[in-house]
Structures are given as C-alpha cells and as structure tokens.
Structure 1
Amino acid sequence: MTTATRERTGWLADARRSLDRPLTSYHLVLGVSGLLLALGVVMVLSASSVYSLQRYGNPYAVASRQLMWVAAGLPLAFVASRLPLRLVRALVLPGLLAAIVLLALTFTPLGVEINGNRNWLSFGGPFLLQPSEAAKLALALWGADLLARKSRLLHDWKHLFIPFVPVSGVVLAMVLGQGDLGTSLVLFSLVLVLLFVVGIPMRFFAALVVCVAALVTYLAVTAPHRIRRLTSFLDPFADYHDTGWQAAHSLFALGTGGWWGVGIGNSREKWGSLPEAHTDFIYAVIGEELGLAGTTIVLALFLTLAYAGVRIALRVEDTFVRLAAAGITGWLTSQAVINMGAVLGLLPIAGIPLPLVSYGGSAMLPTLFAIGLLVSFARSEPAARAALADRAAARAARKRRSARSKEG
C-alpha cells in the first residue's frame, strides 16, 4: 500500500469515526443552520443595501429587520428544542387549524396581493404576514402526528389516505388559490415525503404524482403570467426586456462571479438590475460576490442538513419523531432545491425564498422553529440520549466532588 493510499484510507476512517459519534446529527444540524443563518445575515445586508437606501433612505433598513427576525427566531428555536414531545403533539392540530384560518383570511379584504400572488395578510402597520410559510410547518407536524397515531392501520389504503390526503389537498388548494405555485410544490413535496416514509404502495405513489403533475401543468398553461414564466425559463433572452429580465440577470450575476466572486458588497446586479435580490434571488448575489466557491459551499451546507435530517429519521425510535424529521427535511430540502434551481436557470422561477438565507420574517420564524425541533429530535437518538445522560452524570459527579473538597 502506497503512502498516498494509506493517507486516503486514514482520512476516510477518521471521517467515518466522526460520523459514527452519537451526537453527530445534533452537531450537524446546529453547525449547518448557524452557518447558513450567519451567511444569510451578511448577504441580506449586502444584497439589500442599495434597495434599502432607495426606498427607506437607510442602507441598513432591511438588514436591521432581518436581524430583528433572527433575534426573535433564535429563542423560538431554543424553546422548540426543549419542548416535551407530548406538548408538541398536543399543539399540532390547533396549529394546523390556525394555519388554515390564516390562509382563508387572505381571501378577505385583509389579503394583500404582491407580484401577482394574494398570499399576504396585513393587519395594519409596516409588517406583512405570509400564512403559507407557517402552513408548511403545521402540515408537516400534523401529518406526522396523524400517521404515527394510525401506524398500525396504514396497511389499509383508506386509513393511509384519509383524512391526511383530503386535508392536505385543502391546504394545497388554498395556497394554489392565492396564485402561489412555488409554495404549493413545496407542500406537495412534503406530503410525498411523509407518504413515502410510511410506506405508501408505489402504484398509489405514482398515481398521486401523475395527478398533481397534471394539475400543475394545467395551472401553468392556463395562466398567462405562468406561461410567460415558463417561456422565459426555456430561453430568458428571448424576451430579455420583459419576462426574461430576472432570469437573465440572475445568470449575469453568476457569470460575473466566476470562481471566487467579486467580493462581498461589490455586486453590480443589486443596483436595481436583479429584482428580489435580497429575497428569492439572494443565491445569485452569493454567486456574484462569492463566486462558484460560495454557491458550492451553500449547496454543500443544504446537502449536509438533508443528510442530518435523514440520519435522524433513520435512527430515532419514536414514529412521530421519525415522520416529523422526514417531513421537515423534505420541506427545507425541496424549497432549497426549487429556489437554487430557479436561480441557476434549471427550473422555472417559483418565487420562494432560500431557507435561513433569504430576507423575511414570515419564512424565518417557522424555519427556525423547525430547526429547533430537528435539534430536539437529534438529541432523542438512542446513542445521543445515552451520551447526554453520561455527560449529565459526569457533571453531577464533578459537582459532588467539588462540594466535598470545599467541605473538607
């Protein structure tokens, strides 16, 4: 065996040992989420500075709000990581009902239309609420709880589908009624993940995918603005000054960044050429300022988060925890893939934010709550629970020894 081979084998062995540690999932979720959150704050500050100056007369206006949402979301994530499992499950049905009520309110005078989608609520004041973001979390947890309670009956397709599929269909229909096709795709991905994890027969799985694909195609080709989006996705330069503008300037940003980027704060596209630079298209600004290296690191971080979520789902013993971890992971991963795919020109523009990175409190708070739950689920892995118990016993023993030494 050559020296190079021995070094490579040794490196792989070290990596395998690191992944086999009992608290690996816990550390991965915390570390990756923290890195994405920190990067998001920096990139929102950079991408929004010109927009903030033009609209509010203060280059830090949007970034300050983002910091406020992060400051509010971190304690929320901590609380979620410490909530007893029984309390989480007791709250899932009220949470889903509240999400449905808020979705219904968007069809009243409280609803606000932005960029062709009536998916915002205004209760007065400067802040708007997007109920569909909370609906993702509510549907993931309610679906996990329902399917876990019926786990012994799921061999019968009626129990597998009812009431989970009809209720999910209601939520999806309300979001589609708002005109928000991107969020609908994320919700549908979440539903598919939950059904796949509980073992839906492949014929039902395929039929469900075909039906929803047909519905999405129908909605895409019957709405003029969606047809324009689809056309601009296929060739953004065919209608460069209209429907292809955003997609084209996203590609310009990525091309300008090259391998290593033009440097943080030096984006040219954020000066007004790239719409939604600090929200849906922040990944393009990352590509421009940090280059291919930056976008690859962000992609690797989301893949690592997905790996950690799958690892948790495979290792935990509780059925609800397994399904909830899978649902949350499916939600965050599908949303990240749809967002990055649109920025890269691989998918049509869907108008959804990049989790933990894009600006927005309506998305940030439910996402951080979900991350807190993933941290809690990681701590419930059998090996992790034993390791944490050993640590607690060791700390207690040190305290007793310290107390005895002081008394002596």
Structure 2
Amino acid sequence: MNLGLNVREIERYDLVILLMAVALTCFGVVMVSSASSVVATKKFHDGFYFLKRQGVYALLGFGVMAVAMRIDYRIWREYAVPILLGCLFLLFLVFIPGIGGAAKGASRWIRLPGFNFQPSELAKIALIVYMAYSLDKKQDKVKFFSTGFLPYMVLLSAVLLILLKQHDLGAALTMGLVAIIMLFAAGTRPRYIIAMGMVALPILYFLVMNVDYRRRRILAYLNPWEDPTDTGFQIIQSWLAFGNGGVLGQGLGEGKQKMFYLPEAHTDFILSVTGEELGLIGVTVIAAMFLMLVLRGVRVALMAQEPFGRFLAFGIATLLGIQAFVNMAVVTGLLPTKGLALPFISYGGSSLIVTLFAVGILLNISTRLKGAP
C-alpha cells in the first residue's frame, strides 16, 4: 500500500482535525520534555529519556494514523466482532504472570521488549467500533429494552468488570460514558438510561467508598487542605502551578512545581505544568484546540454518508472529548483525582498511538461525507 500523501489527497481530509491532532501531538512532545527533564535526570541520568521515547511514540503514532487515513473505514465493520474479542483476550493477558505488568497496585499492562502496552486503550476503540457496527444493524430495534438496550448493558458490564479487576476505574467510567452517549445518540429511550443510572450509582458508591485509596481521594477532593502532605498534596501542588503561571506563565522550561513537587508531572498532570509555564493563555489555547477537534469530529458524524460511519465518528469524537474534559477537570480540582491521560499530550505510548489511530479513522470518514464527490 502506498502511504504517500500528496497535497491533492490531503485536501480530501478534514484539515482542521488533521492540523489539531498534529499540533497537539507536537506540543505534547515539547511539554513532556519540559515536564520530565528533572525526573529523568535523577532516575535515568538522562534528561532527555522521556523526550526520546515520546518522540518515538509520536512518530509511530503518525505512521499508524497515516495508515488508518488510507484504509476505507467500512472495513472495520467487517471485523468489529473479532477486534472486540481480540481486545478482551488482551485484557485477560494482563493477569498472567510473566506477561502482565503491575504498578502502584494496578495490573493494566502487557510487557513487551522496551515497551509496556496498555490494552484498555485499544479496548476503548474496539468497543466504539463494535457498537457502531451493532447500532447500524439494530437501528429499528434500538428503542426496545430487550433488543436495543439490555444486550449492550450485558456486554458493557462484562468489559467494565475486567477493567475494575485491573483497578482501572478511570477507563471503566470513560468507556461506560462513551457507550451510554452513543446509545442515546442512536435513539435509546432516555428512561432506560435514567433507570440504568439509578442502578449504577449505588454500585459506583460501593466501588469508591469501600476501597481505601479511592475513598481517600474523594475526601481529599472535598477538602484537600485537611491532609495537605498526603491525599491532598497532588491537587494543591497543581493549584500552585496554575497560580504561579498566572496569565502569561513563567516561560517554557521555567516551571518549578515539576521539580519533585508535583507528582505525575509528565503524565496525568502535564496540563498543570503547561499552566505554570505558559499561563492561562496557553491552557486556553489547548482547551480551544480540543474543543475545535471534538466539534469537527461531531460535524463529520452528522455529515457521514451512512449510519456506521456516523456512529463511529461520533464515538471517537465523544471519547476524545470526555478524556480531555475529565483530565482538565481533575487537574483544576473540579473532579476527584483520577489517573487519566490528556490525549495527545500526556506521556505514554499506548494512549498516544491508539489516539492517533482513532483520529486516522475519523479522517478517513471525513473523506466520505454527504455531498462530497
């Protein structure tokens, strides 16, 4: 397959989506370098350790995106079931000793030479592809509980149970929200969703309040100053980073909170470093870019020529929007602290490569819109 893209071919794609994805990824590489250099020097004696790895992930991600851009998105409909089953198999592999990897009490990774792969990232896309395929087939049944709602809840429950076993509540909640929003957009009756929410809330309460570290996060969210040196430490340091940045920021590379004050500075809390170094203006630009990307994704969904493409594009746009919003809400203290990467920007190969793959699918859908030649 010839992956070369000339100017005329590029013009077929939604250029706003393409430019936003490339710009956010490149910005992420820069911010990973700035946020991680001190930690990398101390831990690996190489201040560019994380930068070099993130640069490689970005190049791989761009390559995967270029391939996905050139593949007719309708082919994913044919392989929706095998892709989902394959991802479920990968999710089970993390529990096998010698294959799965664990960190901080969570088992979420498959160990590969020089790289830890997180299958839950790919499972998010697999679930979206399967739901788009299934909703396309069941358009006339989606309003019925037994055929258009219950089967999805059974499938979703099975996937979420596996993720909860991996102690990955963030991925479970994200996938659950994306699935529910896709069902609502497809025409599921709101009363089914409300009823499901009433059932899910006490379960979520139990999952949070009966696990010590989750309960402590909720308490820290309600009053971080009650324990400023432990459970409230991370969000307080994040606030200090934003406060230090002000409107214009301290300047790229000049942040202080990343110097062993702010935990996870180059991963989950990289936006805090951005706020300190580039200020309110920098954070606002990043938020605006995400908003533009999501809105263009929704536009592609609304203009797609057939239902599968419409549901697929909407699911991808929803996933990007939820992940970006939740990360921004967490680092600013609007939501309890939860490990969830900021798409394109946080350090991590699995998240970046899979996200760019999803954008590639979205771009391919954008070439086949209503009224397009």
TM-score tier, shorter chain, comes to: over 0.9
Contact 1:193/1:326 (<8 A) preserved: no
Structure 1's consecutive aligned runs of 4 or more residues displaced over 4 angstroms after TM superposition are none
- Cα distance, 1:292 vs. partner? 0.5
Correspondence for 1:211 among 199, 205, 213: 199
* 8 Å CA contact retained: 1:260, 1:293: yes
Q: How does 1:14-53 map to 2 (within 5 A)?
A: 26-53=14-41
Aligned partner of 1:335 in structure 2 is 323
AA paired with 2:109? W
Instruction: Please tell me the residue identity of whatever aligns with 2:366.
Output: A
In structure 2, how many angstroms separate the alpha carbons of the residues matched to 1:211 and 1:37? 39
| Aligned with 1:120 (options 109, 124, 132) | 109
CA positional deviation for 1:217? 1.6
**Counterpart of 1:188?**
176
Matches within 5 A, 1:3-402: 26-109=14-97, 110-123=99-112, 125-383=113-371, 385-386=372-373
Quote how far apart the aligned CAs of 1:38 are: 1.4
Equivalent residues, number: 362
More divergent stretch after superposition (373-382 vs 250-259): 373-382
- Is 1:25–1:312's contact at 8 Å kept on the other side of the alignment? no
8 Å Cα contact 1:146/1:164 also seen in 2: no
Q: Deviations over 1:92-127 (max 9, x none)?
A: 22221111111112222133222232212224x432
Amino acid across the alignment from 1:345: G
Shift of 1:368: 0.5
| Amino acid in the other structure paired with 1:308 | R
AA in 2 matched with 1:335: Q
Q: TM-score, normalised by structure 1?
A: 0.86
Q: Distance in 1 between the 2:355 and 2:124 partners?
A: 9
Number of the residue aligned with 1:397: none
Equivalent position SS for 2:266: coil
Distance 2:339 2:315 in 1: 21
- 1 CA distance for matches of 2:293 and 2:209? 35
The two structures have a TM-score, normalised by structure 2, of 0.94
Task: Give the corresponding residue for 1:394.
Answer: none
CA-to-aligned-CA distance 1:309-335 (integer Å, 9 cap, x gap): 111111112100110111111111111
Report the secondary structure of 2:250's partner residue. Answer: coil
AA matched with 1:360: G
Moved more, 278-287 or 82-91: 82-91
Q: Which amino acid aligns with 2:154?
A: P
Q: Which moved more, 1:321-330 or 1:205-214?
A: 205-214
Q: Which runs of no fewer than 5 residues in structure 2 stay unpaired? A: 1-10
Shift of 1:162: 4.7
Could you tell me how far apart the structure 2 residues matched to 1:359 and 1:98 are?
Answer: 26
Q: 1:374: how far off?
A: 0.9
Q: Is the 8 A contact 2:142 2:148 kept in 1?
A: yes
Tell me, in whole angstroms, the C-alpha distance in 1 between the residues paired with 2:109 and 2:133: 28
Worse-superposed segment, 310-319 or 58-67: 310-319
